Structures are given as C-alpha cells and as structure tokens.
Amino acid sequence: RKEVEQDPGPFNVPEGATVAFNCTYSNSASQSFFWYRQDCRKEPKLLMSVYSSGNEDGRFTAQLNRASQYISLLIRDSKLSDSATYLCVVNFLYGNKLVFGAGTILRVKS
Amino acid sequence: DAGVIQSPRHEVTEMGQEVTLRCKPISGHDYLFWYRQTMMRGLELLIYFNNNVPIDDSGMPEDRFSAKMPNASFSTLKIQPSEPRDSAVYFCASGKAGVADTQYFGPGTRLTVL
C-alpha cells in the first residue's frame, strides 16, 4: 500500500464548478498535512496546510479526518488558472521528511 | 528574496558520464532536500540534510548517487556513472525548522541521459 494515495484524475470541470479531491495516508502517527500545487513543468508550491479543525483560504477548503486517515480539498467557483496537479503531502512525524502523493490532475475548461 | 536556485536547468548527457546538479537553498533555512520526479514514480525524496549533515539517505537509489552539502549555502547531487533510467526532473527544496514543515522548491533540473 502506498504511504499517500490519491485519485490521479484527470478531473475535467467547467469554470465555476465545485470540485473535491481526496487523499488517504497509511501512517496513523502522521502529524502534519498539506496540499501542494504543481503547474505543468514547474516546481511544487505550498497551497495550504491542513488543520484538524478544517481550514479555508478563499475558494479553497481543506479537511482532515484522523480517524479515517483521510484528507480532502474542496475548490469552489473553479477558475481556468486552477488547472494544475494537486499533491497531497504528509509529514510522517520524524524530522522534516514529507511524503508526497502522486497528485490529482485538474483541468478547468471554459 | 531569492528563492532556491538550481543549476543547470537542463542537462543532456550520454550514458556513463558523470552528472553534477547544484543547489543554493534560501538563506537562513537549515533543511535541504533532494527529490526526483518521474511520471512513473512521482516525487521521491532522495536525501535530506539538516545543518549541512545528511539525516536520511534511504531514498538514494544506489551507489551511483551521492550528495554533499559542504556549507549552508550549497549542495550537490552527483550521479556517476549516469544511466538512461536516471532521466527525470531533480528538485532541490529548503525549509526552516519550526515553520510548519513548509518546503520551498527550486525550479528543478531536467536531466536526460541518452
């Protein structure tokens, strides 16, 4: 079983749609959780951290369910510029080592 | 402020040649990470350093790969000899302890081994 699993997609959605991505992780001792965004042929960049109580940043909402070892990202009112690969990322407690999921591809079309 | 700097941005070499990738982390960051990204395997951590000391090199694929960090502002990843299966994008990232584990990635080096 992979340490961090994501649906690879692609998710093809029209502008203005709401889309949700899910991610599961295998290590119950994981302490920190993130969503990174990676544009085509670019480096990954931090989109947002994920907190236990859930958190929102504009059109983006992240949720964490520790019991189910499940993380989600919700994007409302999708924009063309949201088209990218979204990487689910988990810190497995020791040091600063992050484990990246394979990513979910989002394509927003006009 | 400058972000993470990597060089070269692109490298094309022939099988058997030595390849050296370079990274300058963000000033003040005490963690440095080397990753490799391929379509098949995604983003894999190769090795990371804390205060210039290698902490975990379990992701280094084999003895052909080596990494050094002689000082806080410079690191190298060397492949000798290179093989076609080493073709990938190699990212360097840096981070600061105690700042929610956030890592800042460089633009990457796209390596092609013919």
Tens-level pLDDT at each residue, chain A (110 residues): 778 999 988 999 999 999 999 999 998 888 889 999 999 999 999 999 998 888 999 999 999 999 999 999 999 999 999 999 999 999 876 566 788 999 999 999 99
CA B50 to chain centre: 14
Strand-pairing partners, residue A34, are: A49, A89
Rounded Cα gap, residues A4 and A94, in angstroms: 16
The answer to whether B5 faces chain A, any CB pair under 8 Å, is: no
Region of B10 on the Ramachandran plot (φ > 0 left; ψ -120 to 50 alpha; else beta): beta
pLDDT at B12: 97
pLDDT tens-place string over residues A63-81? 999 999 999 999 999 999 9
Residue with tokens 């949201």: A82
Interface of A with B in 6-65 (CB under 8 A): 32, 34, 42-46, 49
Contact assignment for A96 to B43 by CB distance below 8 Å: no
Interface of B with A in 30-69 (CB under 8 A): 31, 33, 42-43, 45, 48, 50, 55-56
Instruction: Work out how many CB contacts closer than 8 A connect A with B.
Output: 45
